[in-house]
Chains A and B, each alone.
Chain A
Amino acid sequence: MHYVIIGNGVAGISAAFQIRQRERAARITVVSGESDYFFSRTALMYAYLDRMNLRDLEPYERTVYDRQRIERVRGWVRDLDAGRRAIRLDDGREIGYGRLLLAVGSVPHRLPWPGLESAREGVVHFVSLQDLAACERWTPSTRRAVVVGGGLIGVELVECLVHHGVEVDFLVRESWYWPMALAREEGDLIAEHLRGHGVRLHLDHEVESVVASAGGRIAAVRTSQGREFPCEMLGICIGVRPAVDWLAAVRTPPALGRGIRVDSSFRTSLPDVWAAGDCAEFPLPDGGAKVEQIWYAAKRQGELAGRAMLGDRVAYQPPLFYNSAKFFDVEYTTVGEVTRLPGDAVSFFHRFPGRAASLRLIEQDGRVTGFNMLGSRWDHTWFERWIHERRSMDEVMEHLHLAQFDVEFGRVRLDEARAAYRAFRGAARRQERA
């Protein structure tokens, strides 16, 4: 059986290794237009920061592909013919498949801001190796940059630019940083931290238009607030969307929604074609559909899709949500539901005095449902366990030290957090009685 995988990101490679582990005899081909070898996309910023070489970003020694007999093909796929079971690359090469996995990932969002087309130089995203190359090309000639978009990639790009001595105006549409994941207090903490690093953070600013120089280099960004930010580089980090545009034009397109529609075993509408990772849109039990666009989900989905392609019965359900990030020096761990809560949810927030660190626990109907931790390290598996075991917030606060993962001698002090928690509960009880 010839397994062909389009995309050598974490979903595609996880699937390839999964297949190889179980089927020693299978022929496996991985096709990528972006890079010759699997690399860690999440580490792009460390290459830009000069802490690593591009080669360091590769999680496996290059010999692994020969040892595991994984054939690598470099090229962008242009056509998919499910009738003839073949794909065609941009250089005309055809590859036949027995089973095909689409693990084609995401592309950055772009909005049709007036003036953007004429700015041919200095406008960057920060998602692919090619984006990194563009960033590195423009940085030396940049004194001021504007980064748009208050999410994770935006902050990463801002950190890199600051490192290279660029003055950064960071434009965020919302009234605090990243409301999708952080409550106001956490957003303020991060804002304070960013400003401490010299970032000019502008909240409630939406881009209205961009201005290019006569030579076509980006020159300024104008916002809805009527302000103009001069710049020589513009980073657009307003999210990503599944990379499916090319699929609409192939001979036999799979069913598309926001992403490639799959069932809970990652099967697309085409026979013997599966999809996984950022590009897959799978059904939820409540009738909705979901696209998961984070590293952990892509790794998990890739492994499971690999199993499904081998013939295992797979019924994917996204597990309890968790994620991690780092905003300059502040580490972030989250588990469960922490934003968009019902009105009766109890939310306990504590900021550790004297350091950029905080914790937030959410309780609904007497049981803990979410954690949002900044600036200290936690073993999220304890949080998951407490949520699954439906522990109350009282119990969790009492045992919170078990989940601490800070370095030796460096744990945050929980006694203050616990005292604050008792005061918080006492106040709530008094309010109830009154």
Chain B
Amino acid sequence: MTRSGARHWLLHDVKNRGVTAWLLGGLFTAFYLALYFTDWLTLVARGIGLDNKWTLYGALYTLAVTAGGAYVIRKYRHNRYQVVRTLVVIFVQATFAFSIPHLLKFFQQPEYYFSYFWPLKMDYLTPSYIFSLPLPFVLYSFLGAVLLAPLLAVLFGKRWYCSWVCGCGGLANTFGEPWRHLSDRSSLAWRIEKVTIHTVLGVSLLLTALLFVSWGAGKSHPELARFTAGFQSFYALVVSSLLAGVVGVGLYPIGGTRIWCRFFCPMAALLGLVQKFGRYRIRVKENMCISCGLCSKYCEMGIDVRSYAQANQSFTRASCVGCGLCAEVCPRGVLRLENARAVDPQEAMLVQIQGAPAARPLI
């Protein structure tokens, strides 16, 4: 049942795929279509003294993350993981993803986003673009994509990126908070997700390989260069604009907040594979789950967390972005995000208590 009163009706309607939710979804979709395929927003930007539509978009995005972040921090103020994580998300968005690129431009440097890496940002391993930048940017692009991002994912799971740094995840976890419970958690959705996300990853890898080949041999094979350029603009249209923007954010009020991250993001796919072999896991307390299902309901990646919790199974899922909301909403404190240490705490205990008197036998 919903609480009575117009305000409660509206809150419920907008959060549960009601009329207002569909209207809002339409509005978001229209906004992204206008942003990517028209110049109307440039007129708006100029009207308020900004240089182009992308600056306006960046400002709106930062505003949404900051306002949503403030709401999230207030809502989960008793949970320090959520408070710290959200503060970092806001900080990264305001600096690395907004102010610093503009500062760089102001100082006649390339407009570079230190919080984005290949393969999410294909440009950063596109040889024709990246090699036109000063050396430090080239090094950061390469080392960030092939070394830093996977290494941190081994140590902390992909959450270090997807839930702490990335702008897409940042928007989902702040502005998107009211819709996080709408993700489909059926096993069918999981099967589809595995196909789509790895397809996009495969395509992005193929495109990168082609970009390098055509950069090296394009002059002698103009048809290859033409094909690669066509492929590149197709990828930019379908993946970067339609899937990441229009579908990814446009459908927030209908399909939940992480549609892009879950079904399409090549970076999430790559770090997810790394995560499976890393230290990160969700630990499940033995025999404490009451199968209430709040964890599954509020998982924005549609993971059926309850199925692991009620089976006493600690687990690592490739798709888990480590937002920590399952642990937050669990009414029995069954779940805990952790980076499993090299030494198991139980072994540590055995070492520590060797000096203590031996356990007396039971009875």
Q: Among the listed stretches B28-36, B40-48, B128-136, B286-294, which one makes contact with chain A, having 4 or more residues with CB under 8 Å of it?
A: B286-294
Confirm or deny: A66 has a beta carbon within 8 angstroms of a beta carbon on chain B. no
Please tell me which one of the listed residues A140, A296, A300, A377 contacts residue B4 in the complex, with CB atoms under 8 A apart.
A140
User: Shortest beta-carbon distance, B303 to chain A, in Å?
Assistant: 14
B80 within 8 A of partner (CB): yes
Taking residues whose C-beta sits less than 8 angstroms from the other chain, chain B's interface range is 35 or more
Check if A409 sits within 8 Å of B286, measured CB to CB.
no
A50-68 residues at the B interface, CB under 8 angstroms: 50-52, 56-61
**B333 contacts A410, CB within 8 Å?**
no
Say yes or no: A331 contacts B333, CB within 8 Å.
Answer: yes
Contacts of B352 in A (CB 8 A): 399
Residue from the list A164, A326, A377, A388 in contact with B3, Cβ < 8 A: A164
Compute how far the CA of A158 lies from the CA of B84 in the bound complex, rounded to whole angstroms. 32
Q: Convert B311-333 into 0s and 1s, putting 1 for each residue whose CB lies closer than 8 angstroms to a CB of A.
A: 00000000000001001100111
Q: What is the bound-complex CA distance between A407 and B290, given in angstroms?
A: 19
Do B290 and A405 have beta carbons less than 8 Å apart?
A: no
Given A165-B3, A389-B359: A407 and B292 interface contact (C-beta under 8 Å): no
Of A46, A331, A367, A408, most buried by chain B (CB within 10 Å of CB) is: A408
Contact of A409 with B293 in the complex, beta carbons under 8 Å:
no
B145 to chain A minimum Cβ distance, whole angstroms, is 27
With an 8 A cutoff between CB atoms, is B186 at the interface? yes
Q: Mark B1-37, 1 if CB is under 8 A from A, else 0.
A: 1111000000010000000000000000000000000
Write out the residue numbers on chain A whose beta carbons fall within 8 Å of the beta carbon of B324.
407-408
Residue B219 at the chain A interface, CB threshold 8 Å: no
Are B80 and A409 in touch, CB under 8 angstroms?
A: yes
| Number of A interface residues in the complex (CB < 8 A) | 48
Q: Beyond A48-B1, A326-B332, is A40–B288 a contact (Cβ under 8 Å)?
A: no
A405-B333 CB under 8 A given contacts A57-B292, A59-B293, A380-B288: yes
Which listed residue, A46, A325, A410, touches B80 by the CB 8 Å rule?
A410
Given contacts A43-B291, A407-B81, contact A59 B310 (CB under 8 A): yes
Residue of A nearest to B285 (CB): A379
Q: Shortest distance in angstroms between A299's beta carbon and chain B's nearest beta carbon?
A: 8
Residues of B within 8 A of A390 (CB): 359-360, 362
Given contacts A46-B292, A295-B290, A408-B338, whether A402 and B285 have CB atoms under 8 Å apart is: no
Does A224 count as interface, using CB distance less than 8 angstroms? no
Instruction: Say yes or no: A405-B353 contact (C-beta < 8 A), given A331-B331, A391-B359.
Output: no
With a CB–CB cut-off of 8 A, which chain A residues contact B333?
A: 324, 331, 333, 377-378, 405
Is A252 part of the contact surface with B, judged by Cβ < 8 Å? no
Q: Mark B43-84, 1 if CB is under 8 A from A, else 0.
A: 000000000000000000000000000000000001111101
Contact code string B346-361 (vs A, CB < 8 Å = 1, else 0): 0011001100100110
In the complex, what residue of chain B is closest to A356 when comparing beta carbons?
A: B78
Residue of B nearest to A165 (CB): B3
Contact among A40, A329, A388 with B291 in the assembled complex (CB-CB below 8 Å):
A40
Q: In the complex, what distance in Å separates the CA atom of A405 from the CA atom of B336?
A: 7
Is A317 on the interface with B (CB-CB < 8 A)?
Answer: no
Complex Cα gap A350–B82 (Å): 27
Pick the residue among A46, A58, A329, A331 that contacts B332 (CB under 8 A): A331
- What residue in chain B is nearest A58 (Cβ atoms)? B293
List chain B residues, Cβ under 8 A from A42: 290-292
CB distance from B282 to the nearest CB of A (A): 12
Q: Is A395 an interface residue (CB 8 A)?
A: yes
* Across-interface contacts of A52 in B (CB, < 8 A): 292-294, 297
For residue B233, CB closer than 8 A to chain A, the reply is no
Q: With the chains together, A164 CA to B328 CA distance in Å?
A: 22
A402→B349 contact, CB < 8 A: yes
* Residue of B12, B328, B333, B359 most packed against chain A (CB within 10 A): B333
Interface string of A249-293 (1 = CB under 8 A from B): 000000000000000000000000000000000000000000000
Contact B337–A50 (Cβ < 8 Å): no
How many angstroms from the CA of A58 to the CA of B296 in the assembled complex? 11
Chain A, Cβ-Cβ closest to B5:
A165
Q: Give residues 296-313 of A contacting B (CB, 8 Å).
A: 296, 300
Partner of A10 from the list B291, B293, B349 (CB cut-off 8 Å) is B291
Closest 3 pairs between A and B when the two form their complex, measured CB to CB: A43-B292, A377-B333, A410-B80
Residues of A participating in the B interface, judged by any CB pair closer than 8 Å: 10, 40, 42-43, 46, 48, 50-52, 56-61, 136, 139-140, 163-165, 295-296, 300, 324-326, 329, 331, 333, 367, 377-381, 388-391, 395, 399, 402, 405, 407-410
Interface residues in chain B, defined as those with a beta carbon under 8 Å from any beta carbon in chain A: 1-4, 12, 78-82, 84, 186-187, 285-288, 290-294, 296-297, 306-307, 310, 324, 327-328, 331-333, 336-338, 345, 348-349, 352-353, 356, 359-360, 362
Give 20 new A-B contacts, CB below 8 A, not counting A43-B291, A324-B332.
A43-B290, A43-B292, A50-B12, A52-B293, A56-B297, A57-B293, A136-B1, A139-B1, A140-B1, A165-B4, A296-B287, A326-B331, A333-B333, A381-B285, A381-B286, A395-B353, A407-B324, A408-B337, A409-B84, A410-B81
9 sampled A-B residue pairs with Cβ under 8 A: A43-B292, A59-B293, A140-B4, A164-B3, A326-B332, A367-B360, A395-B353, A407-B79, A408-B324
